[in-house]
Amino acid sequence: MRRSGVIRWATVLGVLAAVSVPLLLLLSWGHVGGGAFHGSDLQRSFRIELIALSGVVVVLGIAGILRPIHPAALLLCAAAMAAELVVIVIEWNNKNVFNLDLVWHWAPATLIAGLVLSGVGLAVWLGLFVTSVARKACPDCAETVPRNAIDCPHCGYRFPLSRGFKRCGSCERPVKAEARVCRFCNHRFGEQVERVSS
């Protein structure tokens, strides 16, 4: 599987993690009996915050599935998942949610599941952010390559060199613009390069 496919599936996983947190808690809020969430346990603002944060991740994630996503958007997704974690931890302190008895309750179980899913989502989006910062997309074949690559290994596209560098006319490797001799092949700039005809 190519790296772009792995990134696409990781993005799908990040979106699913973001969606499942509020969905799981919404289902538990509607659960009838057996220690379900009631209005006093999970406040209205808690629901709105989780849904809004998940909405941000879902919109950016779907955009990322369709086309390469900017690293800043990936960082925003990670921040939204971290905010989901914080919101759940704040609700964790609600004394009405956690009781000291050993009877099964939906409220603590769904909060724990929400914490795990938010943590997974945060890890996925941070991983995608780190990957995107360390790599760049080839404008010809759209595959991702290491950020310091000067040629695309997939299609041969030649990336523009940084300021202060030029390509050697003999070996095509980058050297400093003021260099008079290539440090790789010892070609002296200004001399005619002999090309071997195939």
Residue 190: pLDDT above 80?
no
d(CA 23, CA 66): 24
Domain that holds residue 181: 161-198
Q: Which amino acid is at 181?
A: V
**Same domain membership, residue 77 and residue 14:** yes
Domain for residue 154, yes or no? no
Of residues 21, 1, 157, the one with CA closest to residue 85: 21
**Same domain membership, residue 58 and residue 7:** yes
**Same domain membership, residue 174 and residue 132:** no
The CATH number of the domain holding residue 119 is 1.20.120
Q: Are 171 and 159 in contact (CB under 8 A)?
A: no
d(CA 80, CA 29): 22
Domain for residue 81, yes or no? yes
**Same domain membership, residue 126 and residue 47:** yes
**Same domain membership, residue 90 and residue 56:** yes
**Same domain membership, residue 187 and residue 98:** no
**Same domain membership, residue 177 and residue 127:** no
Domain for residue 195, yes or no? yes
The CA distances from residue 196 to 4, 111, 170, 185, in Å, are 37, 69, 11, 16
Per-residue pLDDT tens digits for 36-69: 344 444 556 677 777 888 888 888 888 877 777 7
**Same domain membership, residue 172 and residue 93:** no
Domain for residue 150, yes or no? no
Q: Is 27 exposed, middle or buried (0-12, 13-18, 19+ CB in 10 A)?
A: middle
Domain for residue 170, yes or no? yes
Higher pLDDT, 150 or 110: 150
The structure's pTM equals: 0.63
Domain for residue 146, yes or no? no
**Same domain membership, residue 38 and residue 133:** yes
Q: Is 179 exposed, middle or buried (0-12, 13-18, 19+ CB in 10 A)?
A: middle
Domain for residue 151, yes or no? no
The CA distances from residue 5 to 67, 111, 135, 191, in Å, are 12, 32, 15, 45
DSSP letter at 146?
Answer: E
pLDDT of 44 reads 65
Token pair 């404008």 in the structure block, residue:
139
Domain for residue 43, yes or no? yes
**Same domain membership, residue 88 and residue 172:** no
For residue 124, the cross-strand partners are: none
d(CA 94, CA 92): 5
Mean pLDDT is lowest, of 23-27, 36-40, 121-125, for 36-40
Q: Are 148 and 157 in contact (CB under 8 A)?
A: no
- Structural domains of the chain, count: 2
Per-residue pLDDT tens digits for 62-101: 887 777 778 888 888 888 888 888 887 777 766 555 555 5
Mean pLDDT is lowest, of 15-19, 50-54, 100-104, 164-168, for 100-104
pLDDT of 181 reads 92
